[in-house]
Amino acid sequence: MKSMLSVWCPDADILEATDGRQAVELYKANTLDLIFMDVQMPVLDGYNATRQIRDIEALSRKHIPVIALTAAAFKEDEEKSIAAGMDDFLTKPISADQLKAALIKYGPK
């Protein structure tokens, strides 16, 4: 995914978190346009990381799109992602077409 993003968005700074807590810290320390959030991360899962990001956003009133990434393709998983504050839901492995569609829909204009 990172290699595709690097090719399609060569001027973008692509940041990676190894766990949900680090994802929240990267969010707080940087100006982001879009977040792809793996829901199954150590320390703090993607659902709770997104909830924390949404709590912080409530103070700034700036909404950053968060797209769930998961290997689980069940309707309940999608509903759980949306309930956590995520804007969309993609199942892994992510195809180039899915990634492009997400960038077009949610990326910076």
pLDDT in tens, 34-44: 999 999 999 99
Query: Per-residue pLDDT for 10 more than 90?
Result: no
DSSP the chain: -HHHHHHH-TT------SSHHHHHHHHHHS--S-EEEESS-SSS-HHHHHHHHHHHHHHHT----EEEEES---HHHHHHHHHTT-SEEEESSPPHHHHHHHHHHHS--
CATH number of the domain that residue 79 is part of: 3.40.50.2300
pLDDT single digits (tens) 65-80: 999 999 887 889 899 9
Number of domains in the chain: 1
Query: Per-residue pLDDT for 60 more than 90?
Result: no
pLDDT mean over 88-95: 93
Domain, as residue range, for 34: 2-106
